[in-house]
Amino acid sequence: TYTGSILVAVNPYQLLPIYTADQIRLYTNKKIGEMPPHIFAIADNCYFNMQRNNRDQCCIISGESGAGKTESTKLILQFLAAISGQHSWIEQQVLEANPILEAFGNAKTIRNDNSSRFGKYIDIHFNKRGAIEGAKIEQYLLEKSRVCRQARDERNYHIFYCMLKGMTPEEKKKLGLGKATDYTYLTIGNCTVCDGRDDMKEYSNIRSAMKVLMFTDTENWEISKLMASILHMGNLRYEARTYDNLDACEVVRSTHLTTASTLLEVDGKDLMNCLTSRTLITRGETVSTPLSMEQALDVRDAFVKGIYGRLFVWIVEKINAAIYKPPSIEPKALRRSIGLLDIFGFENFTVNSFEQLCINFANENLQQFFVRHVFKLEQEEYNLEHINWQHIEFTDNQDALDMIALKPMNIISLIDEESKFPKGTDTTMLNKLNSQHKLNTNYIPPKNSYETQFGIQHFAGVVYYETRGFLEKNRDTLYGDIIQLVHSSKNKFIKQIFQADVAMFLCGYSPSSSVGLPASTLPKGAETRKRSPTLSSQFKRSLELLMRTLSVCQPFFVRCIKPNEYKKPMLFDRELCVRQLRYSGMMETIRIRRAGYPIRYTFVEFVDRYRVLMPGVKPAYKQEDLRGTCQRIAEAVLGRDDDWQMGKTKIFLKDHHDMLLEIERDKAITDKVILIQKVVRGFKDRSNFLKMRKSAMMIQKTWRGYQCRKNYGAMRAGFSRLQALVRSRKLYVTYHVARQRITSFQARCRGFLVRRAFRHRLWAVITIQAYTRGMIARRLYKRLKTEYHRRLEAEKMRLAEEAKLRNQMSAKRAKAEAERKHQERLAVLAKEDAEREKKEKEEARKKKEMVEQMEKARQEPVNDSDMVDKMFGFLGTTSSFPGQEGQAPAGFEDLERTHKELEVEDLDEALPLPEDDDEEDLSEYKFAKFAATYFQGSTTHTYVRRPLKQPLLFHDDEGDQLAALAVWITVLRFMGDLPEPKYHTAISDGSEKIPVMTKIYETLGKKTYKRELQALQGDGE
């Protein structure tokens, strides 16, 4: 549910189908309240507020351990990665960081199967387009003590169990590993299995995530070696000894010691000495003292915790190296961020130690941030702005925070101070705390001097802290022997993660004792002179930086609620939930959110953002009365009587007011955008049209120029050839010049005659047209006149009948009867006119059909045999007598009328020879000689079986040339050397009766014949 923009989420302890891609689409770009409450709605508003207000955002996810903070963080990350819309590699890397951090930093506790044992702040960076371009992860206070010991029914960190389940047998053999139940560090809590987790599958997910985040195979193997060495060192067994009345111990020799030294790449004896003795430098002398069995176990555990803690820091830095992109130095490169704070929840166990104090201190800070943001700043602003407001009382945890870390002599500073004293103990520290804070109402001292616990009244209730081990955990230092051992290791990876400690250790020597000595010859066990900062001071500094970061962001809150203590679904403990709501301040939050104004804008921001809702409102910098403008806009959109208020410099609104304003603004902007799009698209399309038209005109111009140049070139070449031909013929034969001149003169004369004939024909046509139009007009006039006279006559007849009928009946009836007969006569006349008109139309239609038939017959292909019959049909058949074969064709009628009797000749008689005494020389008349003299080109007297390219003899007229070539084609067809054309096949429409000569004449008259001739010549070649 919502309390304003604060989401209250109850952990269902089961997977629900409400976090799919469809749900992401449903909640994208929606205001809080438009859809049912959801973690995606908070993430969406966080994202769009960042883009809208151009301000960094943060989402603070708080709640007890097991309330669902880690899952909420992952869901917000999933939503932000989907909504940024890029689906890029960096988004995948940011998402894949979670499985790695959970494996190394989460564990099963009695309250939570996947409890975060460290805090993290994920800062996600977005570019100006709203796409993820990087992220940075800050980690806070990993619970290192869990590596060495766990409470009952709790597990160590997930990575150990995943590694032992997911590794191949060969890898486990190299590392000397077995089952989880074989290792002390994994069985202290008597729990090696976690219901609902598949460790083998999780290990494969971790390895694939490491590949995505650029972990090399070498680095993965080195991590596995360190993890294995931790497990082997946890299995070391000690035996107590006494040397010179001093408590001492020995490590029982076993394969675990050998394997651990091999994996750490250190000498086995050095490792054993480091774990059983301590080297001190006193007055320049090196003194080695044995450690008791209890001290040796503490040293071993400190070494293991140091390895795991530094390994975790290195993993976080490695992830940051992959996903963090430094900000651009360009001034226009704008980067905004959304921070997700997933930090350990409030904890209160049976035994609470130093880690719980730090965790609850962090939660006190977050609660104060929440209280300050929701109550203090809000009510202060209402008072400053003179808003009508009734003050709401709330629970302030500032006093507890002052006692723990803020005021002088606070608990953290006293613990730090005692940690710096060599002789400081947990008891002396507790005494100082009692003496300093026993009068503070938030501090609960021990009941007697034997108790080692003190209590603090936190915002979530009283927590009692066990002081044993406080100072050791706070110092968080490793003995110089351990640092020296790491320095002597041949393993580069362990040196890398201990780099800062080794550097500080080496810098701690005095110049007199270390000048000129190589690193390998430095005295063993020398303690550093420069102390490293305590764990509490580091944590306090990190929290201060975190609070500073959060204070400059616009915050969103997700309050996670745990429904029951048994981690079971569908079980709701009302008292537990109400207690969590009450101590987190949600009851007062509901009151202040209901009565308050969570949305507020300065007058300038309001006018600039919402002036689109009132036409004619100028930008804020051009106005003087901004307050009045804001009031007019609010009254126009929200109404006068609604619950919004005007302050001195700001306008205060409810959540639903902001939603209504945003919806109206979106509508107004959408209308303007559509208008701009329409104009821009019109301009764009017109620009494209003009560009295309210009291009088309350019193409047309270029093409026409090309065509003209091509035609000009062809004409010029033709004229050049013509000139050459004319000049050669002028030089060759002089009479050709005269013949050409005469031909030209004839052509001009013929042209003159043709033009004169054309003018005469034109005059004749115009005259015919004029007479025809006159005839038509006269006919029309005559018809109209006739019709007029008929109608006039009919009217006279009507009047006469009417006068006649008046004698027989009344005038009215006589008029009606005359009118009726008149109409009958008019109908008869109209019918006659219609019949005449119909007859004329029928005659015109028949004439038209006759003309169309004639035109169709003219256009039909000519049949050779029909044409011959038509031309020579008058000759009759071979059995008829000459001169009696039938009617002569057109133009030959005179031959039929003037018959001559043919002389009968004896055909058997031989023809008389010419009576010439002198024999004539016939060699002059040989065909070969004639062909060589007169035939054009390379044509000879021999018969060729293909069409000619040019006529055998020279012809001036193109028609004569075509006719000559056509005759040759006819000869070839007659001889069977050329196939008949396709249209010579018999057609059922009667065209087979068209005579051959008609086809020849029509063929010669068609322009298409030239193309057919060229095609045939090409085939012949």
User: What is the set of active-site residues?
Assistant: 65-66, 70, 112, 115-116, 345, 347
Cβ proximity of 611 and 617 under 8 Å: yes
Cβ proximity of 353 and 145 under 8 Å: yes
Residue 188 structure tokens: 């202290």
Contacts with 267 (C-beta within 8 Å, 6 or more apart), sequence order: 261, 488
Can you tell me the distance from the alpha carbon of 657 to that of 651, in angstroms, rounded to the nearest whole number? 11
Can you tell me the distance from the alpha carbon of 781 to that of 774, in angstroms, rounded to the nearest whole number? 10
C-alpha dihedral, 283 to 289 to 291 to 292, nearest 10°:
-110
| The length of the chain, given as a count of residues | 1021
C-alpha dihedral, 110 to 114 to 117 to 121, nearest 10°:
-140
Contacts with 479 (C-beta within 8 Å, 6 or more apart), sequence order: 278, 299, 302, 525, 527
Contacts with 461 (C-beta within 8 Å, 6 or more apart), sequence order: 348, 583
C-alpha dihedral, 995 to 998 to 999 to 1001, nearest 10°:
160
Residue found under tokens 């050709």: 736
Residue 635 structure tokens: 């009254």
C-alpha dist (Å) from residue 552 to 36, 76, 123, 320? 30, 21, 13, 23
Burial class (CB in 10 A: 0-12, 13-18, 19+), 859: exposed
Rg (CA), the chain: 59
Cβ proximity of 137 and 349 under 8 Å: no
Cβ proximity of 534 and 474 under 8 Å: yes
Residue 1017 structure tokens: 């010549």
The C-alpha angle 215, 313, 162, rounded to 5 degrees, equals 60
C-alpha dist (Å) from residue 821 to 61, 800, 810? 110, 12, 17
Can you tell me the distance from the alpha carbon of 486 to that of 478, in angstroms, rounded to the nearest whole number? 11
Tell me the longest C-alpha to C-alpha distance in the chain.
182
Residue 993 structure tokens: 């009766």
Can you tell me the distance from the alpha carbon of 163 to that of 863, in angstroms, rounded to the nearest whole number? 102
Nearest Cα neighbor of 409 from 376, 436, 370 is: 436
Cβ proximity of 13 and 532 under 8 Å: no
Residue 141 structure tokens: 């206070």
The residues with which 8 forms a beta bridge, in sequence order, are 559
C-alpha dihedral, 779 to 783 to 786 to 787, nearest 10°:
-170
String of b and e for 887-914 (b: at least 16 CB within 10 Å)? eeeeeeeeeeeeeeeeeeeeeeeeeeee
Residue 529 structure tokens: 């002179």
Can you tell me the distance from the alpha carbon of 97 to that of 118, in angstroms, rounded to the nearest whole number? 15
The residues with which 651 forms a beta bridge, in sequence order, are 601, 646
**3-class SS letters over 339-374:** EEEECCCCCCCCCECHHHHHHHHHHHHHHHHHHHHH
Can you tell me the distance from the alpha carbon of 854 to that of 848, in angstroms, rounded to the nearest whole number? 10
Contacts with 251 (C-beta within 8 Å, 6 or more apart), sequence order: 236, 237, 238, 257, 272, 275, 276, 296
Count CB atoms within 10 A of the CB of residue 122.
24
Cβ proximity of 80 and 43 under 8 Å: yes
